[in-house]
Amino acid sequence: MIGEEAMQKRALVVGLGIAGMSAAIGLRRAGWTPVIVERAAERRTEGYYIFLFPEGVRAVADLGIADHLHTRNPEWRPGGNSWSVDRRGRRKPVLGLLDAPSGVAAVLRGDIEAALWQGITGDGAEDAVEVRFATTPVEITEGAGGVRVLLEDAGSGKQYREGFDLVVGADGMRSSVRRMVFGPDEDYLANWKAMICAFQMKEQVPSYEASDSVIVSRPKRAMWVFGLADHAPCAWLTYRTKGIPDRFAGPSIEQVRAAFSGMDDDPVVRHVLHSLEQAPDHVFDSIHQVRMRRWSKGRVVLVGDAAWCMNTYSAMGSSSSLRGGAALGVALREHPDDLSAALDAWETGLRPYITRQQRSARIKQQRFVPSSRLAEALGSVVLDLIRRVVHRRMAAEYTAWSALSGTAR
């Protein structure tokens, strides 16, 4: 049973994303009182396509939000749901990212955040986690008995100080908490010399099924369309580049069009670029990894992309954020009277997993955007061999299931 002293411990969570809400639920389950501050004026409800791997699915269950999570895996069809388009415009079936590992869930970022929001709002006012929108930390000062944080309300411009027992930085790859407490971004951001653009499309590429995924991949640039079961597809464009600073000099859509110049004679590419121009919102950013020797300092701890951003090629960002928040709660629950021991145990248990996923991102990058024609060709051969094996197995299972269903009817 959690003691009264533990119940009075307060934590400031900076960021209302997946990492922040996961950490808040973990903290509350450990008997802490979390307060979330978010710089945006309201909660985001949209978001691009995400793969939730088994580690993330288990974390969803551990956080108690499984019943709230809406997944969008397309029903598998014999022959597959994923297609690659070559230079002559010919399509061929390929191994989809949902085909290879078991237990992978297709979701939108907004689906995960909606489930987490249900988790932090609880069953009523008494259970809800306090959330302050349009609020940011300006200064963080640790003392003998806790952390004093200078907070600013963007609406009124008012600044005020408040004390906490712990500060959790869950404010993304370019974390303000990390800058204030650990040092400048350049000390921790590893530049991968690549860009990403992601958005939700209004409609599927013509001549493809609604839930199909389509890949147009060339050396150093690639375009992916991810099909969903009950939602319009999401597009994901990525390309390698040497001049990251210059990529923010002009309008992002113009930059993307320039990067894919020469590929836009393909109907799929033309459709996706046109859809980008029609999209109400999109993400456009450079790709980095965050490398840190230590994720905590005194009473300040970083979680999610702020601590270990694996980058989008890893496809593990959301899963690791969910797992990190759930694990933080477990560590605090197991060490209720020793914050330092709790943070040590949390990091010791989590770091090997994070390190493996960060290393694997380099290999996965070749899958998403090959570095050369040789890498493109080799990857295609390997994936085609794997696809044949996987699809034979899935086709057999599908046939057996269909026969059983027919018998049941």
Query: For strand 213-218 and strand 221-226, is the pairing parallel, antiparallel, or unpaired?
Result: antiparallel
Query: 160: how many CB neighbours lie within 10 A of its CB?
Result: 10
pLDDT of residue 380: 62
pLDDT of residue 127: 76
Residue 154: pLDDT over 90 = yes
Q: In whole angstroms, give the CA distance from residue 259 to residue 237.
A: 10
250 burial (CB, 10 Å; 0-12 / 13-18 / 19+) is exposed
pLDDT in tens, 123-137: 666 779 999 999 999
Residue with tokens 């477990």: 330
pLDDT of residue 37: 98
Most confident segment among 164-168, 240-244, 381-385:
164-168
Residue with tokens 């079961």: 229
CB 207 within 8 A of CB 366: no
242 burial (CB, 10 Å; 0-12 / 13-18 / 19+) is exposed
Residue 348: pLDDT over 60 = yes
pLDDT in tens, 191-201: 999 999 999 99
Q: Say how many CA atoms lie within 13 Å of 346 toward its Cβ.
A: 30
Residue 254: pLDDT over 50 = yes
Fold of the 82-101+191-287+370-384 domain: D-Amino Acid Oxidase; Chain A, domain 2 (3.30.9)
Residue 346: pLDDT over 50 = yes
Mean pLDDT over residues 140-145, rounded?
Answer: 90
Please, which residues bridge with residue 190 across strands? 289
pLDDT in tens, 282-307: 999 999 999 999 999 999 999 999 99
Q: In whole angstroms, give the CA distance from residue 164 to residue 182.
A: 18
pLDDT of residue 4: 42
pLDDT in tens, 29-80: 999 999 999 999 999 887 788 889 899 999 999 999 999 999 998 877 665 6
DSSP E strand stretches across 22-134: 33-38, 49-52, 82-85, 91-93, 105-108, 130-133
Q: What DSSP state is assigned to residue 157?
A: -
Q: In whole angstroms, give the CA distance from residue 379 to residue 400.
A: 31
CB 166 within 8 A of CB 301: yes
- Report the chain's mean pLDDT, rounded to a whole number: 88
pLDDT of residue 375: 63
Confidence band (pLDDT; 50, 70, 90) for 25?
Answer: very high
Give residues with Cβ within 8 angstroms of 304, minimum separation 6. 15, 17, 18, 19, 20, 22, 23, 170, 172, 317, 320, 321, 324, 325
pLDDT of residue 397: 47
Domain coordinates in residue numbering, the chain: 4-69+107-188+289-365, 82-101+191-287+370-384
More confident residue, 392 or 89: 89
Mean pLDDT over residues 342-369, rounded?
Answer: 94
Q: In whole angstroms, give the CA distance from residue 329 to residue 63.
A: 9
Mean pLDDT over residues 180-199, rounded?
Answer: 95
pLDDT in tens, 263-273: 989 999 999 99
Q: In whole angstroms, give the CA distance from residue 286 to residue 192.
A: 8
Q: What DSSP state is assigned to residue 385?
A: H
Confidence band (pLDDT; 50, 70, 90) for 94?
Answer: confident
Mean pLDDT over residues 310-333, rounded?
Answer: 95
* Phi-psi label, residue 311: left if phi above 0, alpha if psi -120 to 50, beta otherwise: left
pLDDT of residue 78: 62
Residue 402: pLDDT over 50 = no
Domains 4-69+107-188+289-365 and 82-101+191-287+370-384 fall in the same CATH topology: no
CB 310 within 8 A of CB 316: yes
DSSP string, 267-285: HHHHHHHHHHHH-S--EEE
Q: In whole angstroms, give the CA distance from residue 184 to residue 189.
A: 9
Separation of CA 352 from chain center:
19
Residues of the chain above pLDDT 90, percent: 70
pLDDT of residue 97: 73
- Token readout for 174 is 């370019």
Confidence band (pLDDT; 50, 70, 90) for 2?
Answer: very low
Q: In whole angstroms, give the CA distance from residue 125 to residue 132.
A: 15
pLDDT of residue 384: 55
Nearest-CA neighbor of 132 among 240, 16, 223? 16
Confidence band (pLDDT; 50, 70, 90) for 226?
Answer: very high
Residue 366: pLDDT over 60 = yes
Residues of the chain above pLDDT 70, percent: 85
Amino acid at 275: S
Residue 323: pLDDT over 80 = yes
Q: Which superfamily is assigned to 4-69+107-188+289-365 in CATH?
A: FAD/NAD(P)-binding domain (3.50.50.60)
Q: In whole angstroms, give the CA distance from residue 256 to residue 301.
A: 36
- Token readout for 392 is 């034979």
More confident residue, 250 or 126: 250
Amino acid at 271: H
